[in-house]
Structure 1
């Protein structure tokens, strides 16, 4: 096995871990040994179903890829998750792209309430990008599941690439692969097109999709953002916190000394201020629980994995401890639980947010 490599992407073949590169089922490996066509599952699905899936990257791979961006003349398409902007930003990207143009793509616009105006959201994303040092040539809002959105993105890419290659970059869980799969589907017109020569895997860490005779759209692996909530959850729980439909905000009237639990993943304490409404923006399947601040820690220890889920009961032992961050709020503000959602606070007050150790919590100008 140690000498067997995928002829599509060069990955070392293995049959143990579906999440790692080079995975292929044992039955497929045996058939491949007979036919001489040894493909990993990722390349097989790419060739036969036009489906692109992320592979894992080490920090070293990540730096090598980012450095490559600055040595080529290309358009960089940076896909971020509108629902989790801060958790989907690539730290220091502006330094690596150097003089290359960046097209910022805000994906998953379909999960935000329809009341959010496109113009206001686009301006909001541009302001946040500037804070990160990025100066995108344009900001495009899209949903990978809306053909009109995808077609508009394709037009924008063609407009700004000016004959150059296009690198598509993004952290894990932003929907980058779904977006590229939608582009491929529209471009080919058929889901079942055999893509043996059309979309070859060129190396372990990227796939080149021809745009014309001289240039490619280059899909890169999802980059791991160390502060995402997703890295602490199993697949079942990840589905619960990742909105697939328009989120429905829920407003809680809280007095000081009250607490909101966000499942068992995080906690929000209202410490000081006048009674006011706090609007929660989270996936519909994430259950929120209101209780008194006094005794909240004991309540958590007793019920995490039970009425406070996720995490599931059998995962509580491995779930990080919650850390407390206090904020004094002066104006309308979003308190963001990275990778989970946010709570909008309209009036002044003092609050505390509890998140797993390693996960970010921050305040920002209200998006809505």
Structure 2
């Protein structure tokens, strides 16, 4: 452990304890970089430095047990919990069993990345939908807020809600990886202090590694926690070039398809949608605007995929595809207007009284939910 005047040092980017002994462990920073960081008051671990300057990511040895320990710690505290979810990937960004860990603490639910949804959509309706979906997960949020951390939308409103509900307590900000939690914290810090990009952020899952405390004026803290890894997210199976298709940056432009029975839509070669039966119908696809969608006949779909995956059907490339799990099929009978969700990639809005199938890499969540839009 590196200490100066018996003081333990922490990376201001990810919160890990700074150490100069083991390059493969959390918080590694060469001694020379520690001295320079202390002089400039910008002390980053080597991992955060390379991520910030070269967009490189290194594997770290943080386990599920570490996250569970942290959640238990939060449950035992007297605090306000701000649970950040990705509104574009709600089901993939819910913390499994969070309601069991919060104890008696209030939960403020924050739907981030609201700028990705069509502007025509009423925000009050989205809030109601988020509350209903949270209730299904056992969560009873005290309030619901919508934000866009990347664009800076509604940050003032969120700060007002935090101030209203924290009642002199610490505030823990929790969320799974890739929901934009650290970007949101950076926005709050900038709004409060004028300091930009203090905490390490990227498209890569899991860039905050330990608690980061930002003090309030009353001596309490806003505490950023590591992103809990939700293994059903598509982002965990993608590499740099393909990752952008699971992290949309602009407002989604829905694509409408008129389908007959026995038609398939490929989402690059990342996933696949089969329309099996239900008569002629229309479906609406909500994915990154640059993700190529390719329609073909269901009876030829398997051979078409074998021939074109990684080439005509991209992303990913054929080389990237070799490292990905094979596509797994899930079939659903749809009785009401619903969304077929590919966790972390997007969804297809469906009409009732249809039978469909969704395919995604083994381990990625595919599910039916009540239609968001």
Corresponding residue of 2:365? 360
Task: Decide whether the 8 Å contact of 1:305 with 1:311 is kept in 2.
Answer: yes
Task: Decide whether the 8 Å contact of 1:258 with 1:270 is kept in 2.
Answer: yes
Corresponding residue of 1:325? 330
* Whole-angstrom CA distance in 2 between matches of 1:31 and 1:352: 53
**1:12-55 residue CA offsets vs partner (Å, 9 max, x unmatched):** 448967xx74254x6xx53436888775147779xxxxxxxx98
* Whole-angstrom CA distance in 2 between matches of 1:329 and 1:34: 60
The question of 1:191 aligning with 2:196 is answered: yes
1:126–1:234 distance in 2 versus 1, CA, 3 Å: same
Structural mapping, 1:109-120, within 5 Å: 109-120=114-125
1:34–1:96 distance in 2 versus 1, CA, 3 Å: closer
The question of 1:284 aligning with 2:284 is answered: no
Corresponding residue of 1:32? 34
Any stretches of 5+ residues in structure 1 without a counterpart? Answer: 46-53, 194-202
The alignment partner of 2:329 has SS state of strand
- 1:10 pairs with 13, 17, 26, which one? 17
* Whole-angstrom CA distance in 2 between matches of 1:231 and 1:254: 31
1:34–1:68 distance in 2 versus 1, CA, 3 Å: closer
Corresponding residue of 1:97? 102
1:14–1:141 distance in 2 versus 1, CA, 3 Å: farther
- 2:298 pairs with 293, 296, 319, which one? 293
Structure 1 residues 283-292 or 302-311, which shifts more?
Answer: 302-311
The alignment partner of 1:85 has SS state of helix
Alignment: residue pair count: 345
Corresponding residue of 1:334? 339
- 1:247 pairs with 252, 257, 265, which one? 252
Task: Decide whether the 8 Å contact of 2:17 with 2:26 is kept in 1.
Answer: no
Corresponding residue of 2:160? 155
Task: Decide whether the 8 Å contact of 1:14 with 1:22 is kept in 2.
Answer: no
Corresponding residue of 2:217? 212
**1:37-76 residue CA offsets vs partner (Å, 9 max, x unmatched):** 775147779xxxxxxxx98731010110000011110000
The question of 1:346 aligning with 2:348 is answered: no
* Whole-angstrom CA distance in 1 between matches of 2:331 and 2:364: 15
Deviation (angstroms), 1:312: 1.8
1:39–1:120 distance in 2 versus 1, CA, 3 Å: closer
The alignment partner of 1:226 has SS state of coil
The alignment's TM-score, normalised by the length of structure 1, stands at: 0.87
Any stretches of 5+ residues in structure 2 without a counterpart? Answer: 11-15, 51-58, 199-207
The alignment partner of 2:163 has SS state of helix
Structural mapping, 1:69-108, within 5 Å: 69-108=74-113
1:79–1:109 distance in 2 versus 1, CA, 3 Å: same
The alignment partner of 1:251 has SS state of strand
1:147–1:242 distance in 2 versus 1, CA, 3 Å: closer
* Whole-angstrom CA distance in 2 between matches of 1:15 and 1:115: 52
The alignment partner of 2:256 has SS state of strand
- 2:143 pairs with 138, 143, 155, which one? 138
